[in-house]
Structure 1
């Protein structure tokens, strides 16, 4: 049960990060076209990079690449929350992600 809960949390924070990128893109874009481009493009870009380098069965995954992408994606999501006017939420997000990743790493839950 502990393993399933941690893996579910890992999936949820990954999806949440993509949602944060969409929200940040929407709020940052000036024109309607820019808003749509950023709100759709940033999560897609994040998902593609994640799929290539950080996903458990990623085709280009190495330990360094995987961790680098995870730190970048989750750190940028936390920074995006901060810039959207939610500094405490951004901080809590990053701390939850760090704790979850540490638990997964120590328990060897991820393939």
Structure 2
């Protein structure tokens, strides 16, 4: 069960990095800025995740602090995806239909 959960977390991390890269490449600026944002933003998030949240993290945090860093990373990915024009991800669309 633990391996299954770690695999799901890994896929969510990849989606997080993908959303950050997507945001960067869809900016309405010149290609150098889009390239820098599209490659740099996921790199920064990956470094933060690797330093504080990975199973082999260089900095060992207490569980509440580690959870806060993970939540901040995923919140950042959601905000960047919203800024890229995808405010309602597919996972939330059934909830949205239920409240109409």
Tell me the number of residue pairs that the alignment of Structure 1 and Structure 2 aligns. Answer: 91
Off by >6 Å, runs of 4+ in structure 1: none
Unmatched 5+ stretches in structure 2: 93-100
Corresponding residue number in structure 1 for 2:39: 40
> Over alpha carbons, which structure has the higher Rg?
2
Corresponding residue number in structure 2 for 1:76: 76
Residue by residue over 1:22-53, the C-alpha shift from the partner in whole angstroms, topping out at 9 and shown as x without a partner, is 01011125110000000010011111111111
Quote how far apart the aligned CAs of 1:68 are: 2.1
TM-score of the aligned structures, taking structure 2 as reference length: 0.80
Cα distance in structure 1, aligned partners of 2:41 and 2:18: 9
Quote how far apart the aligned CAs of 1:91 are: 6.4
Matched-pair contact (CA < 8 Å) for 1:53–1:65: no
> What's the Cα RMSD here?
1.8
TM-score of the aligned structures, taking structure 1 as reference length: 0.73
Cα distance in structure 2, aligned partners of 1:78 and 1:90: 12
Matched-pair contact (CA < 8 Å) for 1:80–1:90: no
Unmatched 5+ stretches in structure 1: 93-111
Please give the secondary structure, in 1, of the residue aligned with 2:46: helix
